[in-house]
Chain A
Amino acid sequence: MTRIKFSAVWSMLLRISLVPLLLLSLQARAELTIEITRGNDQAVPVAVVPFAWNGAGVLPEDISGIVGNDLRLSGQFAPVSSEQFLGFPSKKEEVFFGDWRRLGANFLLIGRVNEQAGGQYVTEFELYDVISQKLVHSGKVPGTRNQLRAIAHKISDEVYKEITGVDGVFSTKIVYVVAKRFSVDRTDYKLVYADMDGRNQIAILNSKEPVLAPSWSPDGRKLAYVSFETGRPAIYIHELATGRRERISSFKGLNSAPKWSPDGKKLAMVLSKSGNPDIYVLDLETRQLSQVTRHFALDNEPDWMPDGKSLVFTSNRGGSAQLYEVELASGETKRLSFDGKFNARARVFPDGKKIAYIHKGEGATSYNVAVQELDSGRMRTLSSSPFEDAPDVSPNGRMLIYSAQGGDQGVLGIISADGRVSFRLPSSEGDVREPAWSPYIR
């Protein structure tokens, strides 16, 4: 037996006596924490139940159908098909969460429309979290029969905001151009104003000459666009409520690509009066024009950064159509796009961090909508039909609208900003093109 030294024995005893104490303190310590650092973003499954209706016949507007469609268009929701519903509750007492959980729904929307005396309609709704079986949102909206569609869109906005934390855009509007070609020499053009789901279309302008490049004022009350009605391209400002128009720019040569500044006081545009297409800014109050680019190359398609201090534009000063940014105060210009031989018609996202544009890759033949992050320069193409054009961004930055070829006709597409889901808007007769998304309508 080896002789163990005194100090060794005692230090061992010391350690041994500490072990149970250590274990004791371990028990008293805070619990295990498991870190969750990644997710699996899926469209949120939501069940939208047909609203109950106290009147005769069918509801004047299919509220749940509109809401389901809105949510589906956003790309972030997957409405459960009503064919799978086991019941059609319209009150809390009628809801059995287990049924909805089994269908895979995370959320459940139910509601009722009541027609009251005097033609007033009251729509009530409740949104439930199926998993924790809790009410998360409810509302009561009055309105007339004609407003029922708008009320449905408002419900979509509230459901969307509650679940995603982001404002919904289902009450916003779009404008676009429809062209009907009869012969080489005769085409009829219309400028159409509609709900963002493509419904409730109104022709706000009819012309025998081309109309293009519409742009919304930030208050949503006016449009600026290019019209050839005088035989030459000129820029018009069109007040939606009154239909009043003003020809704001008709210089010799090109007057094109108008874009309202974020503060609504200026219009960026393209003029070729100096002999070559260049970017100008027109002050709408003073009517003073200032030239922004002075390059012998083609400079075109300006859009504003949200702070109003710089413009993104297209130029082929480098030999091919690419995107650049110019700081208005200093004139400093830097190139933004480096991929491919054609990058044009940029639209800046509302947060100023990304741009959407039309891109043709190296060696490719198709023109597609692409999104690029400005700080990293990372870009990706979102869609893949051959001739895409005129992208515009929704005011919440989550969806894009653009024109595409659908068979022989032009059609409009809506795609989620991450490119995961895309839809065609129901097409009008004729060739649809040049869409623009309104700001939030107040």
Chain B
Amino acid sequence: MKFANVAKGVATGLVAVWLVGCASNTQTSGSGTERTLAGENNTQTAVSTPVVDPAVQAVLDSGKVTGSAEQVADLLNKNTVHFAFDSDKLNSSDIQALDVQAAYLTSPVGMGEKLVIEGHTDERGTRTYNLALGERRANAVKNYLVLKGVAASRIEVVSYGFEKPVNPAHTDAAWAENRRAVVIKEKG
């Protein structure tokens, strides 16, 4: 926790320094006709400004999760969670991602959005059993989000069972890829 705070402070600090630096550089380059060669006399000629995704910002602002913007961005983009064989239990890394999602969805920026959660399985078992298992996986995700404050009415669940595998091979690796739930945001 402390480290995160320190990192946040340092990052903010660095960002601030960058911003100041850019501003001063811009001013410098705008006043004279002196030609400055890149990398020769000045330390920076071009500076990129990360634009914080409002979504990420919203998450960060919510205070519900801790982490860098990058981390948050990564987690926000991670819309797929995976499952063990024949299981609908969420693992801890997935929960982290869902926390970020929930934070976004409950933030002012993400408040209006609706979700569809797809449930999927690997090929083992029967197709109709897998349809129900996929449903339970999708519901597991939905229930967690609801727990985290997202209104249930905003979330729809659909199971595809084994009907839409990402990898049709008959290997353990392929199966692991297929056992998933996907959170799909519909901009509402």
Residues of A within 8 A of B (CB): 181, 184, 187, 210, 212-213, 226, 228, 231-233, 252-254, 256-257, 270, 272, 275-277, 298, 300-301, 314, 320-321, 342, 344-345, 358, 367, 386-387, 389-390, 405, 433-434
A–B complex contacts, Cβ < 8 Å, 8 sampled: A181-B168, A232-B158, A233-B158, A257-B128, A314-B129, A320-B86, A345-B126, A367-B124
- Interface of chain A, helix or strand or loop or mixed? strand
- Which residue of chain A has the shortest Cβ distance to B116 in the bound complex? A231
Task: Answer yes or no: B125 CB below 8 A from chain A CBs.
Answer: yes
Please name 18 further chain A to chain B contacts, defined as beta carbons within 8 Å, in addition to the given A252-B156, A433-B127, sorted by A numbering: A212-B127, A228-B160, A254-B132, A256-B128, A257-B131, A270-B132, A272-B135, A277-B136, A298-B132, A301-B128, A342-B125, A345-B128, A345-B129, A367-B124, A367-B125, A367-B126, A387-B123, A390-B126
Q: Are B125 and A434 in contact (CB under 8 A)?
A: no
Let me know if A210 and B139 touch, CB within 8 A.
no
With the chains together, A257 CA to B115 CA distance in Å? 26
**Which residues, 54 to 95 on B, are CB-close (under 8 Å) to A?**
86
Q: Does B17 contact A (CB under 8 A)?
A: no
- A277 near B163 with CB under 8 A, answer no
A181-B168, A253-B157, A367-B124 are known contacts. Are A212 and B132 too (CB-CB below 8 A)?
A: no
A301 adjacent to B126 (CB under 8 Å): yes
Residues from chain B with Cβ under 8 Å of A358 in the complex? 125-126
B135 touches A213 (CB 8 A): no
A210-B164, A212-B163 as given contacts; A298 in contact with B128, CB under 8 Å? no
Number of B positions contacting A (CB below 8 A): 25
Q: CA–CA, A228 to B126, complex, Å?
A: 17
Which B32-74 residues have C-beta < 8 A from chain A? Answer: none
A30 to chain B, nearest CB (A): 59
- On chain A, the residues within 8 Å of B124 by CB distance are 367, 387
Write out the residue numbers on chain B whose beta carbons fall within 8 Å of the beta carbon of A277.
132, 135-136
Give the total number of A-B pairs whose CB atoms are below 8 A apart: 87
Complex Cα distance A257/B128, Å?
A: 6
Pick from A213, A253, A367, A387: contact of B128, CB below 8 A.
Answer: A213
Shortest distance from the beta carbon of A259 to any chain B beta carbon, whole Å? 10
By a CB distance below 8 angstroms, the chain B residues around A254 are: 131-132, 135, 159
- Bound together, the chains give a CA A114 to CA B131 distance in angstroms of 53
B100 within 8 A of A: no
> Given that A210-B160, A212-B163, A232-B158 are contacting pairs, would A256 and B132 also be in contact in the complex, using a CB cutoff of 8 Å?
yes
Whether B127 contacts A390 by the Cβ 8 Å rule is yes
Q: Is B183's CB within 8 Å of the partner chain A? A: no
Chain B contact surface mostly: mixed
Interface: B98 (CB within 8 A): no
User: Across the interface, do A212 and B139 meet the contact criterion of CB distance under 8 Å?
Assistant: no
A212, B168: Cβ atoms closer than 8 Å: no
Which residues of A have CB within 8 Å of B159? Answer: 233, 253-254
Rounded to whole angstroms, the CA-CA distance of A46 and B22 in the bound complex is 95
> B residues within 8 A CB of A321?
86, 125, 129
Q: Measured between alpha carbons, how far is A342 from B139 in the docked complex, in Å?
A: 22
Cα(A316)–Cα(B99), bound, Å: 29
**Which residue, B127, B157, B158, has most C-beta atoms of chain A within 10 A?**
B127
CA distance A405 to B168 in the complex (A): 13
Q: In the complex, which of the residues A184, A213, A232, A275 contacts B139, with contact meaning CB atoms closer than 8 Å?
A: A275
Give A320 to B126 CA distance when docked, in angstroms.
Answer: 14
Whole-angstrom distance between the Cβ of B146 and the nearest chain A Cβ: 11
Measured between beta carbons, the chain A residues less than 8 angstroms from B127 are 212-213, 389-390, 433-434
Q: Which of B116-152 contact A (CB under 8 A)?
A: 123-129, 131-133, 135-136, 139
Interface: B166 (CB within 8 A) = yes
- 4 smallest CB-CB distances across A and B, nearest first, come from A210-B163, A345-B126, A277-B132, A300-B132
Q: Is A300 a contact of B128 with CB atoms below 8 Å?
A: yes
Whether the pair B131, A256 counts as a contact (CB closer than 8 A) is yes
A254 CA to B124 CA in the complex, in Å? Answer: 19
**A381 to B166 Cα, complex, angstroms:** 31
Across the interface, name the chain B residue whose C-beta is closest to A431. Answer: B168
Counting chain A CB atoms within 10 Å of each CB, which of B125, B129, B166 scores highest? B129
Segment 155-175 of B: residues with Cβ below 8 Å from A: 156-161, 163-164, 166, 168, 170
Residues of B within 8 A of A256 (CB): 128, 131-132
